[in-house]
Structure 1
């Protein structure tokens, strides 16, 4: 039997299916909320909600199609040099992605291939063939998890921000709004942890992320820091929406410029690389990621120093410019959450990277064969965002 750290398990397959259900729930609650806003006459909120859905959908289709095209030339994903990948021709790929079915197509192929490998008998395969099959599943899972990460920060995160602002502004919320916020939170949390674990398992030279306490601490660090950012943005929206638009534009521009200065080489074409850098810049407005896989301790310190200043000053700015909110219950509660989440997020960040972050490189049993198919298969993986 293959070692657990290189085996795509039944538990992993079931979690993939659960991730599909969360993704569907998040999309449909947001669509329902957009329709509700439209019927209630809140046209701006409806347009914003729907535009975030479209943004996440558009970006994921672009990269999903590009990666399928790359897989046609990949030695592991298409070892026989066929004109189709995962049973789909180039024409079918275009049609599926134009219909917005990119992520669903990847879920289908991952669940279908995973079912054959982990649930059905594979006694006819030798050890090398089993290892290749499981590694291929992790490559597919990592592609899917990064698309889900893009969708989480292009759709779920701004969606959550808008809904929090609407609840603050009107002082009440409907069931659909609460469901949308809950599914957005779960989608962000799931995307972060799933991406971290899938990426580390798909890279044969990097030690996987241990389950249990390290995963929980990592999740808490991300959720506390991201939630403090989102809540601080929501208070700045109450000052004036233009304040948040300007702030996010500046942060996005800085993040995009940073990815340009680091000369990211993730995509196979120049146009896709420019889109990728823009997406990375937007993700950096909510959380930090290591773009090039190098030591970024100083960059991380600067990033969270600036974000902490923004989070801490947003309640003070709102209280100064709008004194009438100082005694409002929502202001006191949200300010408390911002301060506590910022501190707890930094505490869990330090705890994770000092004591729980896997640093040792993993040694493979067939290390001398590293120049074979497994090395080729990790080309795109090696250039993914490193949490």
Structure 2
């Protein structure tokens, strides 16, 4: 079996790693500053809500991060360079204890950023080995940032819009901040999409025009959903938690019925399904093998129905006097934006997604990949006339990204590594050895 390896780490990857940690620190700093402003002005409810979103998101991200570190420490077949680099996040027992301590105090995500920067500096500037593992870390960071986006940034954006509606007053900077936050959420989706595609051998097929169209339809679908939730909250704030909980339970059940297989144990898998439930509250995310078109149709139909109910409830219970300047705009913008987003999404898969390219042995055409959503990736192309060269040197393969790619293509595009425990016991977790 051919085992392609991850791409080379470049100076651009290093720049993005530095920008990523700066963005992370700015995001935390801005959240703390806003929370402080709420506290100073005596707005304890909004202060508590903001801190709750921050803490909830941080705990979820730390749990994923630590679970992945524990799993990675069990992987075998690393080459000598990677084995040496792996100690950046775990390594000897003392360093493993320190890593666990930092995760408990919500610093594990920051540690990953610093580790990625340091390893990237060693690889790019000093010319040391470990390029594949540096790319490995950046893929994990991309997925963690996506989780943080929908567990913190999206709810916070709804809270910001709710405050603007509740007070019936907003400064220009608040409008700009809301639009910038919405754009940032949509861009994070694109960033993860490109990260997943860069995991594939033919990543150069993802052109920037294609990414821009991908960004546009995510922006057009996410923005009205966030706005609808904020509008509903402005008239029935006491029911928004119950609404979220009911939909979250439905989404978690749906993820379970789809038979997700992402984490390396039942506890981790239920954590993943719970997180998917939070993501689905705002945006579609494909999680299992098989045809995704009808899953996407079911999801969008459900969200359109739910958003319609929320929007009607707001219109029915709104204060006509305080909302007369903008209610018609919202009633027109929200459905048109979502409809336009679906049309742009269809346009993407018809014209910009390289679905006509075939992968030998893929077992399905690009048409079957329609509507794979946030993590959907483009079809692969291999040249069957070229001889397959089997390398006996272990390659670094990111199991998590490999599983996602395999799910989205319903085949083994990347064989997945086994842990030593799985290799001995064959415990049926559907992981695949990346060599044969």
TM-score of the alignment, normalized to the shorter chain, above 0.5? yes
For 1:130, the equivalent position in structure 2 comes to none
Q: Spell out, residue by residue over 1:187-245, the C-alpha distance to the aligned partner (whole angstroms, 9 max, x if none).
A: 423421221111222244x7566131110011111111011101111111123124433
Match of 2:380 among 333, 338, 361: 361
> Does the aligned pair in 1 maintain the 2:168–2:322 contact within 8 Å?
no
Match of 1:321 among 313, 317, 320: 317
SS at match of 1:61: helix
Moved more, 294-303 or 236-245: 236-245
For 1:110, the equivalent position in structure 2 comes to 116
Correspondence 1:164 to 2:166: no
Match of 1:342 among 338, 343, 359: 338
For 1:189, the equivalent position in structure 2 comes to 186
1:1-387 equivalent positions in 2, closer than 5 A: 6-75=7-76, 79=80, 85-86=87-88, 88=90, 89-121=95-127, 133-173=130-170, 181=178, 184-204=181-201, 207=203, 210-322=206-318, 324=320, 328-358=324-354, 359-363=378-382, 367-369=388-390, 373-374=394-395, 377-384=397-404
**CA separation in 1, counterparts of 2:334 and 2:146?**
24
Report deviation, 1:183. Answer: 5.9
SS at match of 2:198: helix
Q: Spell out, residue by residue over 1:308-361, the C-alpha distance to the aligned partner (whole angstroms, 9 max, x if none).
A: 233345333322233615852232333333123212211111111222224432
Moved more, 141-150 or 357-366: 357-366
Question: CA 1:31 to 1:175, structure 2 compared with 1: closer, same or farther past 3 Å?
Answer: farther
**CA separation in 2, counterparts of 1:185 and 1:21?**
19
TM-score, normalised to structure 2, is 0.77
Report deviation, 1:149. Answer: 0.7
**CA separation in 1, counterparts of 2:180 and 2:77?**
35
**Gap runs ≥5 in structure 2:** 355-377, 409-436
SS at match of 1:380: helix
**Gap runs ≥5 in structure 1:** 126-132
Question: CA 1:368 to 1:166, structure 2 compared with 1: closer, same or farther past 3 Å?
Answer: same
> Does the aligned pair in 2 maintain the 1:19–1:190 contact within 8 Å?
no
> Does the aligned pair in 2 maintain the 1:23–1:187 contact within 8 Å?
no
Aligned residues: 373
Over the residues paired in the alignment, what is the CA RMSD in angstroms?
Answer: 3.0
SS at match of 1:73: coil
Moved more, 171-180 or 223-232: 171-180
**CA separation in 1, counterparts of 2:120 and 2:327?**
48
For 1:129, the equivalent position in structure 2 comes to none
Give 1 or 2: higher helix fraction.
Answer: 1
**CA separation in 1, counterparts of 2:318 and 2:172?**
29
